Amino acid sequence: ARSSAVAVLSDRDIAGLSERAKLNMMGCRIFPAFGLLMVPFTMSVRGAFGTPTVAVLTTHKPLDLQGNYAGYFATFSAWPLPKGDLAVQAPEDELGCEKYPQDWPPSTGGLGPAPGWISIVMRGKCTFIQKAQMAEQAGAKGIIIVSNNQTVQIMGGNTTDGTVGIFTLGVDRLLGEKFRNASIIAQKSGQEPLMMSVSPYVSSLLNISEGILILLAATLVALGAFFSTADLDIHPPGSFSTALAAPQEEVLEVDHWLAVGFCAVGSGFLVFLFFLMQYMIYVIIFCFCVGGASCIAQFGAICLNHQFPPLRNKSTNLPVVGILAHADIIAGIPAAILVTCWVILRNTSYGWPFQDIIGAGFLCWLQRTLRLPNIKIATLLLSAMFFFDIFWVFISPLFFHESVMVRVATGGGTGESVPMLLRIPAFGDPFGNDRLLGFGDIALPGLLVSYLRRHDLMSRRSLKAGYFAPALVGYFIGLCVTIAALCIMKM
């Protein structure tokens, strides 16, 4: 949600303009909303409309493989899909390029041949269509082709090879080897085969998880704008707002060099992580823990100091940390507990609320201390980051053979995920995947929205007459459009 369209904004007051000019100027307030709406939509158009591309493989036997797994339909896969459970069989020719034996599939578990079965073969030697045709001639209802690595190619084929009358799926190497090994063991021991059903993955536009994620992001942007403007003298002395104000020495104002530097340093850091992620992932996790605990502890100390002034008294002086008041120690206890819970549960389905709370503290603290001085710098920063995302997500595979941004964000094969994002569990999703939104998609629009709120307050504009509300609404609508586009395109 980063836009260069915000350059149409004006810092001038509309007082003294003609009525027609006033109307035109007020109409211009829709442009930040429009810009924040359109850019994430544009950046998310990565697929195309058509038949489902993702399949849900639901296994029932054996017990250690029970669950839902993802497969990817070939472009020539036949429809409709067969109903009910199908037995998974691994032919003698692991590549599936040779003709199957006459008595295939073998009887298993004394049950005789399965009423419906799926062939599972490895990629290689012959075309995908030829593999599917061989399985179809043997009577299979479908075929699973195992990739050579963890990247699954959406399989296509040449029409000159003929047509295919069964469904064809691709799976990654680790999952495919699990299925093949289970099938081979069942065939050799006479046990019941691996049984699974296949269905298309359908993502609902109205999934409550997306709604919660969008509301959380918009709320954090608005809350960060509130923290960012807490230092203005429009707030009464001694109020909670003034207590939240960042000391002047902590405030960093973005200039044009810093705006460009974000892209340059960020690009260098991405490449560094791309090659050394297996070592740096734990450094990132450590920094996330320390920084998250610090942000939450400081927010807690501010609240305690405001409500209970005696807690401001000095308690101790620690090396490196410095002077600590009673409020700092009290607030540090729940912060440490929160971070500890996240470290322990980060790779489970219970880690998301702790990560989101820590992330919320980060984002609000960022908007509190980092400020845009004018709309020119805002335009430069957001425009630069817009092209930064495009390059490292879509163009970098031309130079690095895979997306640098995607590899870094997914942990680079370490089994860990970079924690710099919000997570909400997907309710009703067969894969149990979390819905994710990166910190950058909240922090950077948040800086613009914070600047607009500061401009409105300093120019004494009401909520209806200012820029803050349209920009916040535009950001909200932009996220809605983005999520809807991803769901429609089966991304």
Residue 368: CB partners within 8 Å, gap ≥ 6?
224, 227, 228, 230, 244, 246
- DSSP structural state of residue 317: E
Residue 264: CB partners within 8 Å, gap ≥ 6?
none
List the catalytic residue out of 85, 389, 434, 456: 389
HEC string of 85-149 equals CEEEECCCCCCCCCCCCCCCCCCCCCCCCCCCEEEEEECCCCCHHHHHHHHHHCCCCEEEEECCC
Going 67 to 70 to 76 to 80, the CA torsion angle's sign is positive
Pairing of strands 314-318, 322-325: antiparallel
Residue 301: CB partners within 8 Å, gap ≥ 6?
325, 327, 328, 330, 331
Q: Classify 333 as helix, strand or coil.
A: helix
- DSSP structural state of residue 393: I
User: If you count them, how many residues does the chain have?
Assistant: 491
- CA separation for the pair 385, 233 (Å, rounded): 32
Pair 308, 243: CB distance under 8 Å: no
Residue 68: CB partners within 8 Å, gap ≥ 6?
56, 57, 58, 430, 431, 432
103 is catalytic: no
**Neighbour tally for 64: CB within 10 Å:** 9
Going 282 to 438 to 391 to 151, the CA torsion angle's sign is positive
**Neighbour tally for 20: CB within 10 Å:** 8
Q: Classify 364 as helix, strand or coil.
A: helix
What values do phi and psi take at 217, rounded to 5? -65, -45
Pair 61, 194: CB distance under 8 Å: yes
161: amino acid identity, one letter: D
Going 62 to 128 to 431 to 281, the CA torsion angle's sign is positive
Alpha helices in 229-351 (DSSP H): 240-244, 256-307, 326-345
By CB neighbour count within 10 A (0-12 exposed, 13-18 middle, 19+ buried), where does 48 fall?
exposed
389 is catalytic: yes
Q: At what angle do helices 208-228 and 468-488 cross, to 10 degrees?
A: 150
Catalytic residue IDs: 389, 441
